[in-house]
Homo-oligomer: A and B are copies of this chain.
Amino acid sequence: MTDYLFKNGHLLTMTGSGVGYMKDGAVAVTNGRITAVGPTAELEKTISAKETIDASNMCIMPGLIDGHMHASYAVVRGVAQDIWNWMQAGLAPYHKYMTPTAFLSGTRSAVLEGIKAGTTLFGDYAWPVDGWGDVFADAGVRAVLTARINSLPAQGMAGLKIGDLYPFDEARGRETIDQATAFIDNWNRAHDGRINVMYGPQGPDMIGLDQLMECKKLAASRGLKVHVHTAQGDREIDQMVKRYGERTPAFLHEIGYLDDQLLAVHLTEATDEETQLIAKSGAKMALCSGSIGIIDGIVPPAHVFRQAGGDVCLGSDQAAGNNCHNIWNEMKLTSLFNKIKYKDPTTLPAWEVLRMGTIEGARALGLDDEIGSLEVGKKADLICIDVTEPNLSPVLDGPIRTLVPNLIFAATGREVLHSMIDGRFVMRDRAILTMDEQAIREDVQLQGEKVAHAVAADPVHKSMKLLEAMEAGNL
């Protein structure tokens, strides 16, 4: 017997090459999977469900995919924007006091925030502190978790001048590889495949060549991807040129790292030619429009990557300087930033960024057999959106259908009423069913204050650039 029948909705199935719109559509869900998709009148004839959800005046679509985030920094949301060198001049003093408790508090808050904005898959990249995987498992969300690997000295890099080559500590690399491998072998395809994993050498400049290659081999032997910050800043390019005499893309090409196993994050500093090289290799790209716009004032080359045939997923990156985990925000900014970059209002239209947030994102993560569209046999990750909200209405069906552009350019995420992941409701009528929202709100405030108090007590905070804005009364 069918578990759930959603009926009378505007379906965006995201099948085919467009958005797969269907009027008065229905979706049946059984044992966590989609078991039927079609016109309501048709499905109602044959399907009897334990529960029927009337989705009149709602859009039913696949849940949104957040392919790259550092969720824990939600505990220090908003400490590092509107400045140069956001990481050193803004985040670093806070990062220093991110205890495991603060880390988990921020992670939970970011997941809660994402659920409330329609995200069903969370691609988190982090130190694998105890309890990290459990946050996603317990919240009932789909995840792709990547434990950070690098061979940078554990004691930090104080004393290094800007432009000095980072020293590599092979023992530290060994430790982080082993730690990641333990995490991976514990969580790979856990919870019936709901929790997925990748290997994550942090950047080609942050780990020795041998260990970089080892990560790829370890991943390959498990059928996993490698999730790597790539050409993410002039700092990285400078390190690569000094160490290897080559910019990152040429180096990765030469060592055989460019293939469909690679999820390349950011490409902030990649030229169009380098971007094409990476895309044509079969590698995938994670694009963080909001965060790179805020912290660097740059529009990464995702449009070039896609025109070269590559798949791109979107990521909300980190809330210290994005400052939100909301894929509606990323879809909209991706379209607008690229229209501006190319001075062309036809660039990355609504339907293309909607694909990046759903089926194309799933492809970039290697999960398109399971999620990203409403199709029979796929896992039931879907959201229902109230399209009678004033910012989304009217819903016009012809001659021009307005649903998709209004979702992309006007939705905030708060119009999402229901969210189902793996066939289980995680949010219903905006009530969170799998997390204690009030407790998380209180905890992240408490933990954030603890971190901030520690920063205030450390003289290092006096170098923070935003103190000038504080003194001027601008914050």
Chain B residue numbers with a CB within 8 Å of A21 are 473, 475
Contact between chains at A324 and B409 (CB < 8 Å): yes
Minimal beta-carbon separation of A146 from chain B (angstroms): 23
- Quick one: CB contact mask for A339-353 with B, threshold 8 Å, 1 for yes? 111111111011100
Task: Tell me whether A394 and B75 are in contact (CB under 8 A).
Answer: yes
A290–B389 CA distance with the chains assembled, in angstroms: 20
A343 to B297, CA, bound (A): 5
Q: In residues 424-475 of chain A, which contact B (Cβ within 8 Å)? A: 437, 440-441, 444-449, 452, 455-456, 461, 464, 466-467, 469-470, 472-475
Interface membership of chain A positions 228-258, coded 1 if the CB is closer than 8 angstroms to chain B and 0 otherwise: 0000000000000000000000000000000
Chain B residues with CB under 8 A of A413: 412
A299 touches B340 (CB 8 A): yes
Closest to A394 in B: B448
Identify the closest chain B residue to A20 (Cβ).
B473
* Contact between B19 and A116, CB atoms less than 8 A apart: no
Residue contact B406 to A470, C-beta cutoff 8 Å: no
In the complex, residue of chain B having the shortest beta-carbon distance to the beta carbon of A352: B474
A304 at the interface (CB under 8 A from B): no
- B469 & A349 in contact (Cβ 8 Å cutoff): yes
A406 CA / B397 CA spacing, docked (Å): 36
User: Size class of A's contact patch?
Assistant: 35 or more
Q: Tell me the minimal C-beta distance from A404 to chain B in angstroms.
A: 5
A48 to B343, CA, bound (A): 57
What chain B residues lie within 8 Å of A296 (beta carbons)?
A: 345
- Residues on B with C-beta less than 8 A from A394 are 75-77, 444-449
Q: Which of B297, B299, B322, B393 contacts A345 (CB 8 A)?
A: B297
Cβ of A337 within 8 Å of any chain B Cβ, yes or no, is yes
Assess whether A358 is interfacial by the CB under 8 Å rule: no
Whether the pair A340, B298 counts as a contact (CB closer than 8 A) is yes
Can you show 25 pairs from A to B with CB atoms below 8 A apart?
A18-B475, A19-B473, A76-B396, A77-B406, A78-B403, A79-B402, A82-B335, A82-B349, A90-B400, A109-B390, A113-B390, A295-B345, A297-B343, A297-B344, A323-B409, A326-B391, A326-B412, A351-B469, A388-B445, A393-B444, A394-B444, A394-B445, A394-B446, A394-B449, A399-B464
